[in-house]
Structure 1
Amino acid sequence: MDDTTAGASPPSEPNLESFSLPGWDNTVPVTHDSGITQSQILNFRGFDTWQKTLQSSLKRQKFSDHEFNADPYELKSIEIQSYDLVGRLEALPHQKRPLFIKLRAKVENAKGEDIPAVVFLRGGSVAVLIIVRPTDSLDERYVIMTEQARIPAGSLSFMEIPAGMIDPKDDSFGGTAARELEEEVGLKLKEQDLINMTELALKGHETEESLQNAMYPSPGGCDEFISIYLWEKEMDRMQIDGLRGKLGGERSEREHIRIRLLNYEKLLQVGARDGKTLAAWSLYEYLKRTRQIK
C-alpha cells in the first residue's frame, strides 16, 4: 500500500538561489537553497579561509615553472549541498551561523579536465598536548587526556588530547587553545604559556601556497587544519592527583568530559586512535630531539 496521504502534493523542490563570489577575476556562481543566506555563507570563517586559500593557489599557475601553467585550472562554480546552522533556540534560521558546510566545487581547465572537489568545511581547530611533572619527581611525566562521547566515531568514551574548533569571536589560535584548556580541563593559563609546535616545526619550511602553519588531517575531503600546542609544567603532586577523573566541558554546549591522567610512556598505547595525539607526540619528540624546546 502506498504510504502517501491521498491527495497530498509531492514534496516541493527547494528554492535555489545564486550569487557571484566576490573578489574573483572570473565569475564564480555560488548556488544554495533558501535555508541559508549569502551573508551566512560569506561570513562563515571556514568558507572565507578556504576560498581565499584556493584563489591564492590558482593564481600561482601563472608562473612558468608551475605544473599546471600550460593548462591552468579555474574555479567555475560552487554548489552548497548541505549545512548545519547553530544559534539560540529561539533564533530564526537567518540569525544563526553555519557550523559546517558541505559543497561541490567545479575546478576545471580549458580541456575540460577537472579536479575532484567535494569539500566538507568546518574551519580551523586547535589541540594541546599537556604534560605535567610532579615537583617531587621531575623524571615522571603525565599527559592530560580527555574522555568523551564522539558519536561520529561511534564511541561513547573516546580518548584524545584536549581540542576544539576556532570560535568566530577568538582573536588568535593561541587564545582558542587557552580557552579550550579552561573549558575542558579547568586549567587557567595565559596564551604566552603555550608553545605552537606546528608553527615551530614548520619555521623556515613555509609553502609557496597560502596554507596555514598547521596540520591538515584529511585534505582529500575536509578543509580542517589543526594548530597543535604544548603546555608543559611542573605541578604539585596533590594538584596533579586532583585532576584524575575530574569532570570538565561546557554544559551549555552539551559537553560531558572526564579528565584522564596517562603516563607519558603509555601515550601511544592509549592515544594512537586519535590523529591529534599522534601528531602532537611526533612534534614533541622531534622538537625535543632537535633541542627547539627544552
Structure 2
Amino acid sequence: MAFNLPGFKNPVPVNIKVGNITEGELLRFRAFNDWQKTLKASLDLQQDPDHPFHKAPYELKSIEIQSVDWFAKNTDRAFVGFVKLEADVRNEEGKSLPGIAFLRGMSVAMLMILRPSDSKTERWVIMTEQPRIPAGSLRFLEIPAGMMDDHKTFSGAAAKEIKEETGLTVHEHDLQDLTSLALKNAENLESLQYGMYPSPGGQDESIRIFLWEKVMDRQEIVGLTGRLSGKRASSEMITIRILPYEQLWEVGARDAKTLAAWSLYEALKRSRRLSNTKTW
C-alpha cells in the first residue's frame, strides 16, 4: 500500500510494507503526525541563507513503514503504540541523512517529593519498580512515567499516570512543569517538541517532566510510605517504593528521565525558578 504524504511541496511517497495498518490509521497516529510536521518545519528552515545546509538543502524523498505495534488490539480501545520507519532524506549532491526512526510519541514523567514538616532537609521520593524487558530487567527502578496517548494536556496525562501508578490523586494545579521552566529562555533553532529527547539518534520520544512536591506531617508520611511501599498494580506489575532523595541520582545513572528530573530540579532550585513548596 502506498500514498503521498500531504503538506509537502514535492510528492513524498509513503510505502506501507506491513498489513496491519491503513493510510487513515497511520495519519491519525499522533506520533507520526508530530514527527513529520516537525521534520518538515526543520527542512523549511534551510531556506535561510545562514542555515548550514542552505547551499545544498536536504529533502524528504520517501518514507517506508517497516513495522507497527498496536495496544489493546481487537478491542474498542485499540490504538497504535509504535511505528518503525525509514525516511529517505537526501540532497541534490546525493548525500543522505540517517533516517531509521522508532516512533512512540510524547511521554510524561513525574518527580514526586515528600518533605516532613519537622525537617528542612529530609526528603523522600516516590518511585516505581517494574519489569522493563527491553532493558532485560524484571525490577527496573524509575520515577513514575507514561505515554501521552490521546490526552489533551501534558499535566492531565501526568495526573492520570500518578493515579494509576501510585494510587494518589494529584490535581493538575499542584504540578510544576520543570521542562517548561528550563526551556523558557533556551535557544530554540527549530520547532522541536517541548520535552527531553532521551535517544534522538533512533527515536522520536520526548519526555516532559513534572514536579509534585509536598510538605506533610511526619506521621502522614510514615503512613503513606508504609502503604505505598507494598502497593502493586497487577495489570502492569508495578511495585511502589519510597527512596531517600539523596539516592535519586544513583538511580538516574541508569534511567535517563530520573537523572533529567533530578538535574532539572537541582538547577531550577539554584536559579530560584521554582515556586514555593505547597503544604498538603
Matching residue's letter, 2:152: D
Q: Deviation string for 1:31-86 (max 9, x for gaps)?
A: 01332100111110100000000000000000100011111100000000011012
Q: Deviation string for 1:244-284 (max 9, x for gaps)?
A: 423244x5xx3111111111112122342111110011001
- Aligned residue in 1 for 2:49: 64
Structure 1 unaligned blocks of 5 or more: 1-16
Q: Does 1:27 align with 2:8?
A: no
- Aligned residue in 1 for 2:241: 260
Of 84, 89, 92 in structure 2, the residue corresponding to residue 107 of structure 1 is 89
After TM superposition, give the deviation of residue 171 of structure 1 in Å. Answer: 1.1
Q: Does 1:78 align with 2:63?
A: yes
Q: Does 1:44 align with 2:25?
A: no
After TM superposition, give the deviation of residue 151 of structure 1 in Å. Answer: 0.8
- Aligned residue in 1 for 2:198: 217
**Partner of 1:232: helix, strand, or coil?**
strand
- Aligned residue in 2 for 1:235: 216
Of 158, 161, 165 in structure 1, the residue corresponding to residue 143 of structure 2 is 161
After TM superposition, give the deviation of residue 206 of structure 1 in Å. Answer: 4.2
Matching residue's letter, 2:162: L
**Partner of 2:38: helix, strand, or coil?**
helix
After TM superposition, give the deviation of residue 27 of structure 1 in Å. Answer: 0.2
Q: Distance in 2 between matches of 1:90 and 1:203?
A: 41
Matching residue's letter, 1:50: W
- Aligned residue in 2 for 1:246: 230
Q: Distance in 1 between matches of 2:121 and 2:225?
A: 19
- Aligned residue in 2 for 1:4: none
Matching residue's letter, 1:216: Y
Would you say the 8 A contact 1:243–1:259 is kept in 2? no
Q: Distance in 1 between matches of 2:189 and 2:54?
A: 15
Indicate the larger mover: 267-276 or 66-75.
267-276
Normalising by structure 2, report the TM-score: 0.93
Would you say the 8 A contact 1:58–1:73 is kept in 2? yes
Indicate the larger mover: 42-51 or 203-212.
203-212
After TM superposition, give the deviation of residue 198 of structure 1 in Å. Answer: 1.1
Cα 1:139–1:202 shift into 2, 3 Å:
same
Matching residue's letter, 2:266: E
Q: Distance in 2 between matches of 1:131 and 1:96?
A: 34
Matching residue's letter, 2:72: G
Matching residue's letter, 1:233: K
**Partner of 1:223: helix, strand, or coil?**
coil
Would you say the 8 A contact 2:73–2:79 is kept in 1? no
Indicate the larger mover: 269-278 or 153-162.
269-278
Aligned length: 271
Cα 1:90–1:145 shift into 2, 3 Å:
closer
After TM superposition, give the deviation of residue 113 of structure 1 in Å. Answer: 0.5
Indicate the larger mover: 185-194 or 65-74.
185-194
Structure-to-structure mapping, 1:127-206, within 5 angstroms:
127-168=109-150, 170-206=151-187
% identical aligned pairs: 55
Of 263, 266, 272 in structure 2, the residue corresponding to residue 285 of structure 1 is 266
**Partner of 1:243: helix, strand, or coil?**
helix
After TM superposition, give the deviation of residue 146 of structure 1 in Å. Answer: 0.7
Would you say the 8 A contact 1:183–1:248 is kept in 2? no
**Partner of 2:225: helix, strand, or coil?**
coil
After TM superposition, give the deviation of residue 189 of structure 1 in Å. Answer: 1.4
Q: Distance in 2 between matches of 1:103 and 1:79?
A: 5
Would you say the 8 A contact 1:146–1:159 is kept in 2? yes
Would you say the 8 A contact 1:247–1:256 is kept in 2? no
Q: Deviation string for 1:185-206 (max 9, x for gaps)?
A: 1111111111111110111224
Q: Quote the RMSD (CA, aligned, Å).
A: 1.5
After TM superposition, give the deviation of residue 129 of structure 1 in Å. Answer: 0.6
Structure 2 unaligned blocks of 5 or more: none
After TM superposition, give the deviation of residue 114 of structure 1 in Å. Answer: 0.2
